[in-house]
Amino acid sequence: MKNILKSTIAASALLAAAGAAQAEGKLAIYHWFEYIPQELLDKFAAEHDVEIVMDTYDSNEALLASLKAGAMGTYDVAVPGDYMVKIMAGEGLLDTIGEGELSNKGNIAPKWADPAFDPGRRHSIPYQWGSTSFMVNRDVYQGDINTTDILFNPPAELSGKINMLDSQGEVLAMASLHMGIPQCSTDREQLKALNDMLQEAKQHWASFNSDTAKEVLVSGDVAVGQIYDGFGAKARAEGANVEYAFPTQGYVVWMDNVVLLKDAPNRENALKFMDFLLEPENIAAVSNYARYGAGVTGAGEHMDPELATQPESNPPETAGAGVFIEVCDQQTQEVYDRIWTALKK
């Protein structure tokens, strides 16, 4: 009994010590999985003498759900995609970056300095941008892959071997492109047709998974996988004979952004981190790791030259338009939520 008592006291002391050690110079990041090199985090930690803790999520919706489930006030920064920045700002989850609070704000590439989802970059800075489409294993299928039929009306040899991202926004936007209808349609016939089409397409899908999107392609568990371009480039680099498709119907483009969360416990460090990521050299390190584009002037010089030429970043002539995911109003969104639930039941 005495020993047990002793170990408890020791454990409580450790626990208290752990709490104390984290109290000063901390930065809590809420981030996508497998999307930032550890060396870069170490570099920031060393430069500014802060301890970094990081949690990961696997979809924009999961990020929002978790923040609203009481995680506000525990994280300093998060990395939502374009449309989610708009939603989070609307929900009052973001803090405003004051004038002059970011010394490197001028480094933001002009193209990304005033985006529709965050006019004037009041809450966010660019992180990475890229596209979402899908990859096909060329050992299994040799035909034309630049069509959304591969996902929603696949040829027999691909049926049952398709992994979709577990992300409502990406799946439904792609489905809308396939049908040629707007993303926030209020037309009942269109919505019904979309629902029917997805129910039919579901028969051909093996799984919904975002974080294993690369693994299932590399291991050959599936032959088609919806995937982000850079994640796909990594799958190819790991030896899978897979090709990234640019459907003629169009594909999804996105930009992830580092946002300053409201009630950030370490606001100062969060701003330092944002400034850090606006240094061309640092954000280029992210691009070199994650294989996506950066939104910072001068980052190109520090990037791996292969990045510019990788097939996943260079749409062919035939490619349809890249579209951002749109934010629907509540009533419309609830219909899309029902379609998604029915799809995943």
Partner 1 sequence: MSRARFDVKSYPGFVQLTVLCLLILYLPLMVVAVYSFNASASIVNWEGFSLRWYADVFTGPESAKFKLAARNSFIIAITAATVATAIATLAATAMIRGGRFRLRVLSLGLISLPLMVPEIVTAVATLIFFNTIGFERGTLTILLAHIAFCIPFAYLPISARMQGIEDTYEQAALDLYATKRQAFTRVLLPLMMPGIVSGYLLAFIISLDDFIITNFVKGAGVETLPTAIFGAVKQGLKPNIMAISTMLVGFSIIMVTVSYFVGKKDN
Partner 2 sequence: MAGGAAGGGGTQGDTYKEARTWLLLPTWVTLSILVLVPVLLMLVYSFLTKEFRGGVIWEFTFAAYDQFFCDRGLFGDEPCSIEWTYLNIFWRSIWQAGLATILSLVIGFPTAYFIATRPARVRPLWVFLITIPYWVNLLIRTVSMRFMLREEGPLNNFLVWSGIADAPLQMINTNFAVQIGLFYSYLPFMVLPIYAAVERYNFSLSEAAADLYASKWTTLRRIVLPAVRPGVIAGCILVFVPSLGAFLAPDLLGGAKNFMIGSLIEEQFKGNAGNWPFGAAASMILLSMVLVILMIYARQQARAGGEER
108 touches 277 (CB < 8 A) = no
Contact residue for partner 2 among 56, 66, 248, 310 (CB under 8 A): 66
Interface with partner 1, residue 103, by CB under 8 A: no
Contact residue for partner 2 among 188, 305, 309, 317 (CB under 8 A): 188
Stretch that binds partner 1, among 50-58, 124-132, 142-150, 272-280 (CB under 8 A): 50-58
Q: Provide the token pair at 236.
A: 């190819």
From residue 202, how far is each of 22, 59, 87, 189, 207 by CA, in Å? 46, 20, 28, 20, 9
61 touches 166 (CB < 8 A) = no
Chain positions 4 to 33 lying near partner 1, rule: CB under 8 A, are 4-5, 7-8, 11-12, 14-15, 18-19, 28, 30, 33
Q: Which ranges of the chain does DSSP label H, i.e. alpha helix?
A: 2-23, 38-48, 60-66, 82-90, 149-152, 168-179, 188-202, 213-219, 229-237, 267-277, 280-290, 305-309, 330-344
Interface with partner 1, residue 65, by CB under 8 A: no
Interface with partner 1, residue 215, by CB under 8 A: yes
Interface with partner 2, residue 137, by CB under 8 A: no
> Shortest gap between Cβ of 239 and partner 1 (angstroms)?
9
End-to-end CA distance of the chain: 51
76 touches 27 (CB < 8 A) = yes
In terms of CB distance, is 183 or 266 closer to partner 2?
183
Interface with partner 2, residue 65, by CB under 8 A: yes
123 touches 94 (CB < 8 A) = yes
Query: Running DSSP on this structure, what letter comes out for residue 327?
Result: P
Those residues whose C-beta lies under 8 Å from the C-beta of residue 259, and which sit 6 or more positions away, are 77, 78, 79, 80, 85, 88, 94, 123, 124
Interface with partner 2, residue 197, by CB under 8 A: no
Interface with partner 2, residue 129, by CB under 8 A: no
Could you list the residues that contact partner 2 (CB under 8 A)? 59, 61-62, 64-69, 87, 91, 160, 163, 166-168, 188, 191-192, 195, 205-209, 219-221, 330, 333-335, 337-342, 344-345
Could you list the residues that contact partner 1 (CB under 8 A)? 1, 4-5, 7-8, 11-12, 14-15, 18-19, 28, 30, 33-34, 38, 53-56, 58, 69-71, 73-75, 211-212, 214-215, 218-219
